[in-house]
């Protein structure tokens, strides 16, 4: 590859705290034929002194006598650039080392391209990623990018490398635009040639309270919309009336939501309604105005108990209401005589970072092609697992085709697995809290599950009746939702776990055995199988005492002192879940013997599909880890079916096998979610 000269252009104003980081990231590029030009836009701090201290031929400083604004400073830099290409970088942002190499390679290979861009991660003050940005719409034509940019911005300035001649030909950045001047430039530039995309996140954008986007957030409609309308007028012959309607509808919605979130409620509402009038996401916009807007959030905040995360109970527990999380003993399933029953379930899901952030772009489903490794074991023992598929799996051929083949040959069943951050409609802001379904309004949970159900019906040809909430984020309102959508079985309860510290549910009062729930007790809960062993374990159902002790020693202070491990090694208390993820075959055998001794007859064996692709779960980081996990699956299946004489069922087979009718009890109104939750 030829290595044309590149100018890295960094406008800076009072950037002493961050300018070194930006320059260092430019100089650390694997692409070496470059210069760094810093335009000091009249700073009153030591920005210029820091730049001058580099004393390198390829680091140049241009000092402006007075502040010209972001566009003015960039224009000065463009005029002074010596490179064939100009790479834009803001003074508070940084690049990953391979960014320029990958972008210049594309631009050299495609002389029709006037610019190249990539994705970026927005990071907070602690370096945590909270947003992904910069991925283009799927199937976009390189020569028609300007059309998509009229409707939505998806290019960030520090991600762009532009051909200098093309940049100068379209004229300077508009100094009359204090915000969105870069959007305006990318539209103008992309009208003159093709745009290349590197589908990787190669830029880090640091969140800054003084950024122009935030400073002018409540005036965005006064600058962005007129700019878009001017472009539409200039290109009216190239745009159909339907395209213009779609562009304006999308812009009214996005600008309206931005205004709404900054407190400009009247202007924001007016623009959102204009977007709806043009047909843009009518349903989602309606729900946004109804529940995701600041007034609705304020109401919900007032209705919540003080403190986002409840502390450990200091008073006696409230009386059981017989709901999903607090069932009555009489709700336990009356089992017909049979050998021990094993139900195998797989969370078939996209590869995502379990520690967050919960990003809507993490929808790769490569792991599904690896499921045959474990399924061969199930086939040998005539075990039919149930694949609980999320939206990413249900809507992408790479996800659903491998499982559909198993389904069509009668070797598995399909259920639904709702991961809210990747499952439309998107009326919530992604966060740890909203990654648990039960923290969303009941209407939104239902809408998401409806979309997932429709996708499963469309691509698998079956209607699921078994459901699991992603991250086990389930509450009593799920009964109403499941019944209204035709589901019969929930698989979300994780007995013995209190997840409230992470914004999740408290399952300590849930049974480890199947039970009926819902207003008329017509829904079946099949919990995940967990248990406590050790001298401190009482073994009662529900496992409130054991779970409360384990929760106490698992608090941050306890984990710093390694109390859970210490209690386990001393034989005092350990919690075991029936899964090959993080559990040894010895632990699984011990748990099974213990629960059989306590009279348990139904066991659920669970794992995540992404564990079969090393590197995507905490349990399988290497090929050796994968081999151990597969060995554990195989050994346990032979142990349960062969040694203890158990049988395998699917959730729907188990549901059908129950002869006794669910107990008839009066509805418990407090256990059902409300549409205005």
- Average pLDDT for 219-238: 91
- Closest by CA to 332, choosing from 73, 600, 528, is 600
Strands 341-348 and 647-649, by their bridges, are parallel
Q: Domain range spanning residue 95?
A: 6-215
CA triple 626-380-337, angle to 5 deg = 110
Q: What gap in Å lies between CA 109 and CA 194, rounded to an integer?
A: 12
What CATH number does the domain containing 50 carry?
3.90.550.10
Query: 240 in helix, strand or coil?
Result: coil
Beta strands in 495-549 (DSSP E): 515-517, 523-525, 530-533
- In three-state secondary structure terms, 204 is strand
Same domain, 146 and 233: no
* Judgement on whether residues 293 and 395 belong to the same structural domain of the protein: no
674: left (phi over 0), alpha (psi -120 to 50) or beta: beta
Residue with tokens 């198993």: 406
pLDDT at residue 217, as a whole number: 57
Please count the CA atoms within 13 angstroms of the CA of 451 that sit on its side-chain side: 20
- Residue 616 within a domain: yes
- Distance of alpha carbon 662 from alpha carbon 523, whole angstroms: 9
Distance CA(157)–CA(303), nearest Å, equals 41
For the stretch 427-451, what's the b/e string if a residue is b when 16 or more beta carbons lie within 10 angstroms of its beta carbon?
A: bbebeebbbbbbbbbbbbbbbbbeb
Contact 207, 166 (CB under 8 A): no
Check whether residue 204 and residue 244 sit in a common domain.
no
- Adjacent-strand bridge partners of 608: 347
What whole-number distance in Å separates Cα of residue 403 and Cα of residue 118? 33
| Cis check: omega of the bond before 636, within 30 degrees of 0 | no
Judge if 389 and 511 occupy the same domain: yes
> Between β-strands 161-163 and 113-123, what pairing exists: parallel, antiparallel or unpaired?
antiparallel
* pLDDT of amino acid 307: 41
| pLDDT, mean of residues 375-401 | 97
User: Do residue 424 and residue 449 come from a single domain?
Assistant: yes
Residue 263 per-residue DSSP state: T
HEC readout, 126-189? CCCEEEEECCCCCCCCHHHHHHHHHHCCCCCHHHCEEEHHHHHHCCCCCCCCCCCHHHHHHHHH
Residue-wise pLDDT tens digits, 392-436: 999 999 999 999 999 999 999 999 999 999 999 887 888 888 999
DSSP state of 326: S
419 in a structural domain: yes
Give residue 564's pLDDT: 82
What pLDDT sits at residue 267?
87
In a domain, 449, yes or no: yes
Alpha-carbon distance 136 to 152, whole Å?
A: 10
H-helix or E-strand spanning residue 85:
strand 85-88
Structure tokens at 342: 């094993």
Question: Do residues 394 and 488 both lie within one domain?
Answer: yes
Assess if residue 548 is contained within a domain: no
Collapsing DSSP to helix, strand or coil, 605 comes out as strand
52 falls within a domain? yes
Classify residue 560: in a domain, yes or no.
no
Query: What's the distance, CA 5 to chain centroid?
Result: 39
* Closest among 115, 123, 238 to 182, alpha carbons compared: 115
Rg (C-alpha) for the chain, rounded Å, is: 29
Same domain, 199 and 237: no
Mark whether 198 and 250 lie in a shared domain. no
Give yes or no for residue 473 having a pLDDT over 50: yes
- Are 514 and 527 in contact by the 8 Å Cβ rule? The answer is yes
The DSSP result for 620-668, as a single string, is B-SHHHHHHHHHHHHHHHHIIIIIS--EEE-HHHHHHH--SPPPP----
Tally of CA atoms within 13 A in the half-sphere of 340 that contains its CB: 22
What's the rounded Cα separation, in Å, for the pair 573 and 51?
A: 59
The verdict on 114 and 249 lying in the same domain is no
**Percentage of the chain lying above the pLDDT 70 cut:** 90
In sequence order, the β-bridge partners of residue 575 are 532
Question: What CA–CA distance (Å, rounded) separates 275 from 304?
Answer: 32
The predicted structure's pLDDT at residue 312: 37
CATH number at residue 639: 3.20.20.370
Judge whether residue 663 has pLDDT over 50.
no
Q: Tell the residue number behind the tokens 């062969």, with chain if given.
A: 642
Lowest mean pLDDT among 55-59, 296-300, 364-368, 372-376: 296-300
CA-CA distances (angstroms) from residue 100 to 3, 32, 164, 562?
Answer: 11, 9, 15, 45
The length of the chain in residues reads: 677
User: Considering 186, 215, 244, which residue would you say is the last residue of a domain?
Assistant: 215
Q: Is the pLDDT of residue 193 over 90?
A: yes
The token pair at 28 is 């650390």
* CA 601 vs CA 199, 445, 575, 604, 670: distances in Å: 50, 32, 19, 10, 31
Burial class (CB in 10 A: 0-12, 13-18, 19+), 58: middle
Q: d(Cα 99, Cα 90) in Å, to the nearest integer? A: 15
State residue 358's pLDDT score. 82
User: In this predicted model, what pLDDT tens digit does every residue of 140-179 receive, in sequence order?
Assistant: 999 999 999 999 999 999 999 999 999 999 999 999 988 8
pLDDT of 665 over the 80 cut: no
pLDDT digits (tens, 9 = 90+) for 61-115: 999 999 898 899 999 999 999 999 999 999 999 999 999 999 999 999 999 999 9
Angle between helices 220-234 and 241-261 (to 10 degrees): 170
What's residue 285's pLDDT? 80
Residues 210 and 234 in one domain: no
**Tokens 């103008």 found at:** 188
Of 156, 181, 215, the last residue of a domain is 215
Q: What is the pLDDT of residue 250?
A: 92
Q: Please state, rounded to an integer, the average pLDDT across all residues of the chain.
A: 88
Residue 576 DSSP class:
E
Strand partners, 605: 344
According to the model, what pLDDT value does residue 563 have? 86
| Per-residue pLDDT at 547 | 80
pLDDT digits (tens, 9 = 90+) for 555-614: 887 778 888 888 888 888 899 999 999 999 999 999 999 999 999 999 999 999 999 999
Whether 181 and 174 have beta carbons less than 8 Å apart is answered as yes
Number of domains the chain contains: 3
Asked whether residue 191 carries a pLDDT value surpassing 90, the answer given is: yes
How confident is the model at residue 179, as a pLDDT?
A: 82
- CA 82-5-99 angle, to 5 degrees, is 120
Residues 89 and 124 in one domain: yes
Check residue 319 and give its pLDDT: 36
Look up tokens 């080392």; give the residue. Answer: 97
569 found inside a domain: no
> Given the structure tokens 């023992």, which residue do they identify?
381
The reported pLDDT for the residue numbered 659 is 55
Give the residue among 519, 503, 457, 553 at the shortest CA–CA distance from 672: 519
Q: Please tell me the distance from the alpha carbon of residue 143 to that of residue 258, in angstroms, as a whole number.
A: 29
Q: Which of the four pLDDT bands, split at 50, 70 and 90, describes residue 550? A: confident
The predicted structure's pLDDT at residue 308: 37
Neighbouring-strand partners of residue 346: 387, 607
The reported pLDDT for the residue numbered 666 is 37
Domain match, 246 and 203 both: no
Report how far Cα 519 is from the mean position of its chain's Cα atoms: 32
pLDDT digits 0-9 by tens, 618-645: 899 999 999 999 999 999 999 999 999 9
Question: What contacts 36, CB < 8 A, 6 or more positions away?
Answer: 8, 10, 23, 26, 27, 58, 59, 60
Task: Select from 264, 146, 229 the least CA-distant residue to 195.
Answer: 146
Going by pLDDT thresholds of 50, 70 and 90, the confidence category of residue 669 is: very low
pLDDT digit string (tens) for 498-532? 999 889 999 999 999 999 999 888 999 999 999 99
- pLDDT of 186 > 80? The answer is yes
Last residue in a domain, options 303, 321, 355: 303
Question: Per-residue pLDDT tens for 278-328?
Answer: 998 887 787 777 655 555 555 444 444 444 333 334 333 333 344 799 999
Residue 362 belongs to a domain? yes
């Amino acid at each position: 590859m030829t290595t044309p000269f590149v100018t890295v252009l960094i406008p800076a104003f009072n950037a002493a705290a961050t300018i070194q980081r930006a320059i260092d990231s430019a100089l650390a590029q694997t692409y070496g034929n470059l210069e760094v030009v810093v335009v000091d836009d009249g700073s009153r701090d030591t920005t210029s002194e820091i730049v001058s201290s580099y004393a390198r031929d390829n680091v140049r400083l241009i000092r402006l006598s007075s502040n010209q604004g972001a566009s003015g400073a960039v224009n000065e830099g463009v005029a002074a650039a010596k490179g064939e290409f100009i790479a834009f970088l803001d003074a508070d942002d940084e690049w990953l080392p391979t960014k320029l190499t990958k972008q210049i390679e594309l631009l050299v290979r495609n002389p029709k391209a006037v610019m190249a861009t990539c994705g970026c991660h927005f990071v907070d003050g602690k370096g945590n990623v909270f947003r992904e940005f910069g991925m283009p719409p799927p199937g976009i034509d390189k020569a028609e990018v300007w059309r998509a940019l009229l409707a939505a911005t998806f290019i960030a300035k520090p991600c762009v490398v532009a051909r200098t001649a093309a940049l100068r030909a379209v004229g300077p950045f508009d100094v009359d635009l204090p915000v969105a001047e870069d959007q305006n430039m990318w539209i103008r530039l992309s009208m003159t040639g093709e745009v290349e995309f590197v589908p990787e996140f190669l830029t880090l954008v640091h969140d800054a309270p003084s950024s122009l986007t935030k400073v002018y957030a409540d005036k965005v409609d006064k600058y962005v919309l007129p700019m878009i309308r001017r472009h539409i007028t200039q290109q009216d012959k190239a745009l159909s009336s339907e395209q213009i309607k779609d562009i304006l509808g999308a812009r009214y919605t996005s600008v309206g939501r931005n205004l709404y979130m900054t407190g400009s409620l009247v202007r924001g509402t007016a623009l959102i309604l204009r977007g709806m009038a043009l047909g843009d996401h009518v349903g989602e916009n309606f729900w946004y105005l109804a529940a995701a807007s600041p007034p609705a959030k304020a109401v919900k905040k007032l209705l919540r108990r003080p403190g986002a995360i409840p502390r450990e109970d200091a008073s006696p527990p409230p009386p059981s209401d017989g709901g999903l999380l607090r069932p009555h003993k009489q709700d336990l399933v009356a089992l017909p005589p049979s050998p021990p029953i094993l139900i195998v379930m797989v969370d078939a899901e996209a590869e995502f970072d379990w520690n967050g952030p919960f990003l809507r772009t993490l929808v790769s489903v490569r792991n599904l092609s690896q499921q045959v490794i474990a399924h061969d074991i199930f086939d040998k023992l005539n075990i039919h697992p149930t694949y609980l598929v999320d939206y990413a799996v249900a809507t992408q051929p790479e996800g659903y085709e491998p499982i559909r083949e198993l389904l069509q040959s009668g070797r598995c069943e399909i259920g639904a697995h709702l991961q809210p951050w990747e499952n439309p409609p998107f009326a919530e802001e992604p966060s740890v809290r909203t990654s648990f379904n039960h923290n969303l309004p009941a209407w939104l949970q239902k809408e998401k599950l409806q979309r997932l159900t429709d996708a499963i019906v469309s691509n698998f040809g079956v209607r699921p009746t078994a459901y699991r909430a992603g991250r086990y984020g389930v509450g009593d309102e799920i009964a109403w939702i499941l019944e209204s959508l035709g589901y019969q079985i929930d698989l979300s309860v994780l007995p013995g776990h209190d997840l409230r510290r992470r914004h999740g549910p408290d399952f300590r009062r849930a049974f480890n055995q199947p039970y009926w729930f819902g207003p008329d007790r017509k829904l079946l809960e099949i919990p995940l199988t967990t248990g406590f062993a050790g001298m401190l374990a009482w073994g009662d159902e529900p496992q409130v005492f054991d779970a409360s002790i384990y929760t106490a020693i698992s608090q941050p202070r306890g984990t710093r002192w390694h109390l859970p491990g210490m209690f386990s090694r001393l034989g005092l208390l350990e919690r075991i879940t029936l899964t090959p993820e993080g559990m040894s075959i010895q632990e699984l055998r011990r748990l099974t013997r213990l629960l059989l001794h306590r009279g348990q007859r139904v066991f659920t064996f669970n794992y995540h599909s992404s564990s079969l692709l090393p590197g995507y779960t905490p349990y399988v980081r290497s090929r050796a880890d994968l081999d151990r996990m597969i060995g554990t699956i195989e050994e346990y299946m032979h142990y349960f079916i062969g040694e203890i004489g158990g049988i395998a069922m699917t959730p729907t087979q188990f549901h059908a096998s129950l002869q006794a009718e669910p107990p008839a009890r009066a509805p418990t109104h407090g256990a059902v979610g409300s549409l205005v939750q």
